[in-house]
Amino acid sequence: MATHESTEFLAGVIEGFYGAPWSPAERSELFEWMSRWGLNTYLYCPKDDLKHRTIWREPYTLEEEAALRTTIEGCQRRGLRFIYGLGPGLDIRYGQDSELEHLRRRFQQVGALGGRDFALLFDDIPDATEAADRQRWGSFAAAQCHVANTMAQWAWEHTPDGRFLFCPTPYCGRMAERQLGGEGYLETLGRELLPAIDVFWTGPEIISQEITVPHVRELRQRLRRKPVIWDNLHANDYDGRRFYCGPYAGRPRELRGEVNGLLSNPNNEFPLNYVPLRTLAEFVHGRGPWDPRAAFESALREWQPRFETVHGPLALEDLVLLCDAYYLPHQEGPEAENLFQAIAGLLAGRLPAQKEAVQACRAQAARLRQVCARTAEIRCRPLFYALSRRVWELREELDLLDRILAGETEKGILNESCSSDFHLPGTYRGGLASRLQQLLVQHADGTFTARRDLAGPPPGPLAGPAHHTAP
């Protein structure tokens, strides 16, 4: 039986988010960063490459082959491991041999382009199989193991030192607790998946604030192997208003010894990934207790030249303020958090609304607004384009709040209403998604309750799709 021979610790990047995949030029820059920083692995699996998931059986065209070859060669030229990921889980029929043939053909096609390492990804799919499959394999997990084992054997016959990875359907603690994929899913994987196949895991959550050693040890027992962490800490595909420029954080350095790899699936906007990936590399290679803030500051110093504007450099302290406003999913950076608390405190009347306090708060808000505005002058246009929509929104909110705070300094009244010609109903916070958001309030424990005071006049009839309406 062929087994893989590589035990290398996998450290690097997953292009595995929903949305437009990175361009060839962005990948080329990524590979340069990675080789410079000692990251060794890149996993290609953009969810919205149609042929990765939706029409996974269709072969790549010649043009697509050429593009993929460029990526594979660019990666391997830098000495990095290129892993090709395929996600057949939306509609695969596990029990049909013709499906295995489709998988083989795709892997062969990628193999001919230079691919040596492969992954089968079963995340974000319906956790149901046809009755015949269940009968034949006994469980959903066993059906997936059969497919993965067959394909891994095939891959290792061609490339004995290649890696083969598998993403389970329940890929985080919360999903496993809810028994996604059926009872005993992870234990079945532990028993039936070939021991040399690596298994992905995102931590206790899809976006895990923390990943601890005890959490991973417990998982290792069930999987009978060390997992490879698919880290979504800096992923932003689920929220179009944010991006994450904070450091790799919430994981102790000891985690490295508990896993077979750490791969980050970061921001969609490639240029915004400097700090996330630079600090991941530092986490992997450095020694001693992990200090995320020190790593952040050091990465920002390296990144700062990219923020050269037509009027000279952006000061480091301004860059810190900007990145603190777009730090980590569960946490603002300290300067942004302080600003928020100052504004919220003044508005709640908790702080003595002395003129000096209001003025200091307004000055800091004005500084952040100014930094947002200055991003438009950045010479590196792809970087500005990646920032522009989000910082625009931040500027608008700061502008509005400043109008309220101005009431204190100018008229001695706080909390009076204000108006702005730039923020009229309909153009500001308008649109269905935004209005629907206003109908739900999320509480600190994560639960939602509905607001019932926003109803307008009674609605007209709700029309269904054309084929449902009466003739």
Q: Catalytic site residues? A: 124
Q: How far is the CB of 297 from ligand GDL (least distance, A)?
A: 27
Which residue lies nearer to ligand GDL by CB, 16 or 181? 16
Binding mask 104-133 for ligand GDL (x = CB under 6 A): -------------------xx---------
How far out from the chain centre does Cα 462 lie? 36
Point out which span in 10-18, 32-40, 105-113, 335-343 binds ligand GDL (CB under 6 A).
Answer: 10-18
Under the binding rule (CB under 6 A), the answer on residue 47 touching ligand GDL is: yes
53 binds ligand GDL (CB under 6 A): no
Burial of 99 (0-12, 13-18, 19+ CB in 10 A): middle
Residues in the chain: 471
Shortest Cβ 470–ligand GDL spacing (Å):
40
Closest CA relative to residue 412, chosen from 347, 355, 348:
355
DSSP one-letter code for 450 = E
Q: Closest separation between CB of residue 207 and ligand GDL, Å?
A: 7
Of residues 124 and 127, the one with the C-beta less far from ligand GDL: 124
What b/e sequence results for 395-417 when a residue is b if at least 16 CB atoms lie within 10 Å of its CB, and e otherwise? bbebebbbebbebbeeeeebeee
- Binding to ligand GDL by CB under 6 A, coded x per residue (else -) over 16-45, reads xxx---------------------------
Contact (Cβ atoms closer than 8 angstroms) between residue 230 and residue 208: no
Cβ atoms of 252 and 302 within 8 Å: the answer is: no
Bridge-based pairing state of the strands 440-442 and 448-450: antiparallel
- CB-nearer residue toward ligand GDL: 52 or 362: 52
Please, is 147 exposed, middle or buried when counting C-beta atoms within 10 Å of its C-beta (0-12, 13-18, 19+)? Answer: buried
Q: CA geometry: angle at 429 spanning 267 and 246, to 5°?
A: 25
Closest distance of CB 238 from ligand GDL, Å: 4
Say how many C-beta atoms besides its own lie within 10 A of residue 208's C-beta. 23
Cα–Cα nearest to 28, from 81, 86, 77: 77
Residue 237 interacts with ligand GDL (CB under 6 A): yes or no:
yes
For residue 229, the minimal CB distance to ligand GDL (Å) is: 11
Per CB under 6 A, the segment of 15-23, 31-39, 240-248, 462-470 that binds ligand GDL is 15-23
The residue type found at 446 is G
CB atoms under 10 Å from CB of 418, counted, come to 13
Q: Is 235 in the site for ligand GDL (CB under 6 A)?
A: yes
In the complex, least distance from residue 192 CB atom to ligand GDL, rounded to whole angstroms: 21
Minimum distance, C-beta of residue 121 to ligand GDL, in the bound complex (Å): 7
Rounded alpha-carbon distances, angstroms, from residue 162 to 86, 111, 124, 201: 16, 11, 26, 20
Binding part of the chain for ligand GDL, among 55-63, 235-243, 299-307, 379-387 by CB under 6 A, reads: 235-243
Among 82, 230, 244, 290, indicate the residue that binds ligand GDL (CB under 6 A): 230
Nearest distance from residue 49's CB to ligand GDL, in Å? 12
- Would you call 427 exposed, middle or buried from its count of C-beta atoms within 10 A (0-12, 13-18, 19+)? exposed
Rg for the chain (alpha carbons), in Å?
25
**Of residues 41 and 232, the one with the C-beta less far from ligand GDL:** 232
Binding segment toward ligand GDL, per CB under 6 A, in 11-19, 30-38, 104-112, 281-289: 11-19
CA distance to 276, 283, 331, 336, per residue, from 248 (Å): 6, 7, 12, 18
Cα 437 to Cα 22: distance, rounded to the nearest angstrom? 30
Judged by CB under 6 A, which of 156, 171, 290, 326 binds ligand GDL? Answer: 171
Q: Please select the residue that binds ligand GDL; options are 86, 147, 167, 328, rule is CB under 6 A.
A: 167
Q: Mark residues 238-267: x for contact with ligand GDL by CB under 6 A, - for none.
A: x--------------------------x--
Instruction: Considering only the stretches 14-22, 141-149, 314-322, 357-365, report the one whose residues sit in contact with ligand GDL under the rule CB under 6 A.
Output: 14-22
Q: Which residue lies nearer to ligand GDL by CB, 29 or 123? A: 123
Which token pair is 168? 């389970």
174, amino acid identity: R
Q: Which of 41, 144, 232, 264 binds ligand GDL (CB under 6 A)?
A: 232
Q: Count the residues of the shown chain that bind ligand GDL, applying the rule CB under 6 A.
A: 16
CB closer to ligand GDL, 180 vs 351: 180
In the complex, the residues that contact ligand GDL under the rule CB under 6 A are: 16-18, 47, 123-124, 167, 171, 202, 206, 230, 232, 235, 237-238, 265
